[in-house]
Structure formats: structure tokens, C-alpha cells
């Protein structure tokens, strides 16, 4: 009897271990991604990644500034394993604050050299986007508005209530606008321009891609955001004209980061290796995201804005991503620009 009980105990123990192993295995076959690109792009990543690797991808879509705040709040117990997309400055800040750690993806040497050099060993560049001005020519004609050619034009009183741009507290796009102006004209003159433009802003949106909606439907005449986000709406037939400001313009280097302390390290690395592959980078244009892919082997869609066609300022990604620089600039905007009467 004792032998039977002992054998039964061994069998039950083996079954328990097998069940536990099954649970661990199931846990290991997933990766949790903080996604800071457009929602359709985020949604398309999971099925493609799981088909390629068998690993399930869970995601939460947040703008870059919101994503950084979430990662910071969860530092002791991270929810996410990897961070995909969004402007580079929050990725750099996360790395400099020890919230993320650099992982050299397998195909790293095939990433565009200028993008790799710009961000160093802080995060992995996955795309480049160029900041621009979008206008709705139908609204311009109906309201008899003068043409926009430069950043400085946006301060003209004739555009009162006609501009949409995101809030830099939640959007990396808006912060890129600030750093672009500072690079072009110095901090005080940049803030002076934003103060004069403020009465013309009908709304500071939460997301950097949101102005294209108002621009497309005609509730705003002017939108400030990355060109590739406006290309999608233009291709869908919305009346949008994209303008490169005469003074020059800035750009983003979209980021890919490994969250420090992740419990799914190997799956996170597998996702990052896949995310910079030509197959993965080709997903963006299929979902309406026409940014320049970082992998030189990835085919570039004909509608993708090419950096070579524009007058770009040289943005120091490491400088603008440094929290000792970034945080005071956003606080200055919040205290000096946002409260002004409109």
C-alpha cells in the first residue's frame, strides 16, 4: 500500500511539474510591447510577429511622452518588455535614466549609418520622419488666407484659430517642433515665435498624429506634424498639401528600446531582431505609415518623404533627449506658452 501511495505521489508530482512547465512555457511565448506609432501599425505587428516566431505580441498604444511616464512609473515592476516607435528623445531619456538598456540587434550593421551615429548606443533606430506643415487648400481658398511658406508665417494674426499642433507634455512630435525652432533661431526667439503663434492655435492635441484629422476634414486650415503621417490622409483623397518650411525643418529618429528588468528578455530580443528586418519594416507603409525605414535592405515606398529632398537642420538627439535639457524646455512651454490667452 505504501509503495502504491509513493508511486501515486511521484506521478502526481510529475504531473504538477509538467503543468508548471506548461505555464512557464506559455508565459515565455509572449512579449508585451509599448507601441508609440499609429494604431493601425501597432495592430499589424502582432499577427506578423506571431506568424514568424510563434510568440504572441500584446501591445498598449501610447504617445512617446505618455509612454515614458508609464515606463518611469513602473520602473520597479515593468509591464512592458520592449518599446516600439515614437520620437527618439524619450527613448534617449529612458536610457539615460536607466529605464531601458541598449540591445544590439542582430542586423544592426545594416541600419542606416547616419541614424546609428546620431543616437549612439542608446536605442535602436527604426525609422526617420520629417517635420512639416500641412495645409488644407480648400479652407485657404474659402477663407482667402495667404500662403504659408515658413515657420514665421504661422505667427500672422490672419491665421487666428486655424492651427492644430500637439502638446509637448504628451507628444514627441510637438517637442521636435520646439527643438527644431531652437536649433534654427535660439531658445528665446523660438519661444517668442511660439507665443505669437499661440492665438492661432485652436487646439493642442494629445497625440502628434491627431492634427491631420482636423486638417483633412477642414476644421483646421493648418496642421504641424511629421510629413509621413499626412501622406496617408493625402493618399486617401483628403485635401492636404505638405509644406517644408523655408527656414529648414527638423526630424525624428524613431526608437526601439529594450525595457530594463523585463521578465521576457529573450522574447523581447526576438521581437527587436524581427522589428528591424525588411519584412517587419515593410508593414509600416501597408498601414499608412510612410516614414523612412532604418534598414538599408528595406524597400522604400515611392510616397515616403526623402530626407535628401529637404533642408534639414542638424538635431542633436543626445542633447535634446537629455532630461536636464528636455524637462526644463517642456516646463517652460507649459508655464509660458500654454496659459497665454487666445
Note the pLDDT tens digit of each residue in 138-165: 999 999 999 999 999 999 999 999 999 9
For residue 223, count other CB atoms closer than 10 A to its CB: 29
The CATH architecture that domain 130-251+327-337 belongs to is 3-Layer(aba) Sandwich (3.40)
pLDDT at res. 96: 94
| DSSP type of residue 151 | G
The span from the CA of 245 to the CA of 228, in Å, is 15
Convert the pLDDT of each residue in 7-51 to its tens digit: 444 444 443 433 333 434 444 599 999 999 999 999 999 999 999
Exposure string for 247-284, b = 16+ CB within 10 A, e = fewer:
ebbbbbbbbbbbbeebebeebbbbbbbbbbbeebbbbb
Task: With H, G, I as helix, E, B as strand and everything else as coil, classify residue 322.
Answer: coil
Q: Coil, strand or helix: which one is 111?
A: strand
pTM (predicted TM-score): 0.86
Predicted confidence at residue 314, as pLDDT, reads 87
Topology match between the domains 28-129+252-305 and 130-251+327-337:
yes
What is the model's pLDDT at position 26? 43
Written as nine digits, the cell of 293 is 525605414
What residue ranges do the domains of the chain occupy?
28-129+252-305, 130-251+327-337
Predicted local distance difference test score (pLDDT) of residue 18? 38
Assigned fold of 28-129+252-305: D-Maltodextrin-Binding Protein; domain 2 (3.40.190)
Q: What is the pLDDT of residue 315?
A: 85
| Span 202-213, pLDDT tens digits | 999 998 889 999
- In this prediction, the residues of the chain whose per-residue pLDDT falls under 70 are 1-28
Q: What is the pLDDT of residues 325-341, one digit of tens each?
A: 999 999 999 999 999 99
For the chain, list the strands marked E by DSSP: 30-35, 56-61, 82-84, 100-101, 124-135, 163-166, 201-205, 222-226, 241-243, 251-259, 292-293
By CB neighbour count within 10 A (0-12 exposed, 13-18 middle, 19+ buried), where does 144 fall?
A: exposed
Residue holding cell 525624428? 252
Amino acid at each position: 500500500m505504501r509503495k502504491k501511495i509513493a508511486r501515486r505521489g511521484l506521478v502526481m508530482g510529475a504531473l504538477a511539474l509538467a503543468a508548471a512547465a506548461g505555464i512557464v512555457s506559455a508565459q515565455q511565448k509572449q512579449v508585451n510591447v509599448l507601441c508609440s506609432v499609429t494604431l493601425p501599425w501597432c495592430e499589424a505587428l502582432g499577427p506578423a510577429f506571431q506568424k514568424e516566431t510563434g510568440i504572441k505580441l500584446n501591445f498598449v498604444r501610447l504617445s512617446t511622452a505618455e509612454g515614458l511616464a508609464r515606463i518611469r512609473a513602473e520602473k520597479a515592476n515593468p509591464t512592458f518588455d520592449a518599446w516600439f516607435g515614437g520620437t527618439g528623445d524619450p527613448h534617449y531619456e529612458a536610457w539615460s535614466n536607466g529605464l531601458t538598456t541598449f540591445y544590439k540587434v542582430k542586423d544592426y550593421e545594416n541600419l542606416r549609418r547616419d541614424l546609428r551615429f546620431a543616437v549612439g548606443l542608446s536605442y535602436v533606430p527604426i525609422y526617420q520622419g520629417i517635420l512639416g506643415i500641412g495645409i488644407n487648400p480648400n479652407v485657404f481658398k474659402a477663407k482667402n488666407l495667404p500662403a504659408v511658406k515658413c515657420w514665421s508665417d504661422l505667427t500672422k494674426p490672419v491665421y487666428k484659430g486655424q492651427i492644430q499642433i500637439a502638446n509637448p507634455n504628451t507628444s514627441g512630435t510637438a517637442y521636435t517642433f520646439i527643438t527644431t525652432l531652437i536649433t534654427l533661431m535660439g531658445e528665446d526667439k523660438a519661444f517668442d515665435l511660439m507665443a505669437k503663434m499661440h492665438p492661432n492655435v485652436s487646439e493642442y492635441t494629445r497625440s502628434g498624429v491627431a492634427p491631420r484629422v482636423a486638417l483633412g476634414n477642414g476644421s483646421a486650415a493648418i496642421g504641424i506634424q511629421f510629413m509621413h503621417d499626412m501622406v496617408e490622409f493625402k493618399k486617401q483623397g483628403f485635401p492636404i498639401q505638405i509644406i517644408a518650411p523655408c527656414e529648414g525643418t527638423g526630424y525624428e529618429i524613431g526608437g526601439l528600446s529594450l525595457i530594463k528588468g523585463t521578465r521576457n528578455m529573450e522574447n523581447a530580443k526576438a521581437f527587436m531582431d524581427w522589428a528591424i528586418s525588411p519584412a517587419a519594416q515593410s508593414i509600416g507603409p501597408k498601414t499608412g505609415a510612410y516614414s523612412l525605414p532604418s534598414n538599408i535592405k528595406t524597400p522604400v515606398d515611392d510616397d515616403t518623404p526623402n530626407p535628401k529632398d529637404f533642408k534639414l537642420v542638424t538635431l542633436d538627439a543626445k542633447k535634446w533627449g537629455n532630461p536636464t535639457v528636455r524637462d526644463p524646455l517642456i516646463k517652460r512651454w507649459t508655464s509660458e506658452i500654454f496659459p497665454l490667452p487666445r
